[in-house]
Amino acid sequence: MAELTVSVVSLEHPEWEGPASQIVIKTLEGEMGVLPGHEPVLATLAGGPIRIDPIDGDPMFFAVHGGFFSLDENRAIIFVVLWGQKCHIFCHVPSAHAPVSSCVSLYFYK
């Protein structure tokens, strides 16, 4: 099965790295889903949540203030400015396949 190799990097340090089945990001042009085999992309991130579906485990969400997204040959690098100090976002969604914009509750921790 094809997979994405994903790195989420903030100004301070790497936040997460690993294999994923899909990524959902919010760009200045709108929300975009990325699956393995997607054409190369370079995009500016808008503020909001980023969703990463790891190969093993539950979906993860990062609250970002902005940044850049790069994808080439199933290698995704997400350079982010996180909201707050090392703030991650946990989002309860009605379905594992729901879009990021359908988040009903956002919980932040430091």
What pLDDT sits at residue 95?
52
Q: How far from chain centre, in Å, is Cα 61?
A: 6
Nearest to 36 by CA among 55, 25, 22, 24: 22
- Residue-level pLDDT, tens digit, the chain, 110 residues: 799 999 999 888 898 999 999 999 999 999 999 999 999 999 999 988 899 999 998 899 888 889 999 999 999 999 998 764 444 444 544 455 555 444 433 433 33
Cα–Cα distance measured from residue 62 to residue 87, given in angstroms and rounded to the nearest whole number = 8
The pTM of this model reads: 0.75
Q: Specify the pLDDT at position 88.
A: 45
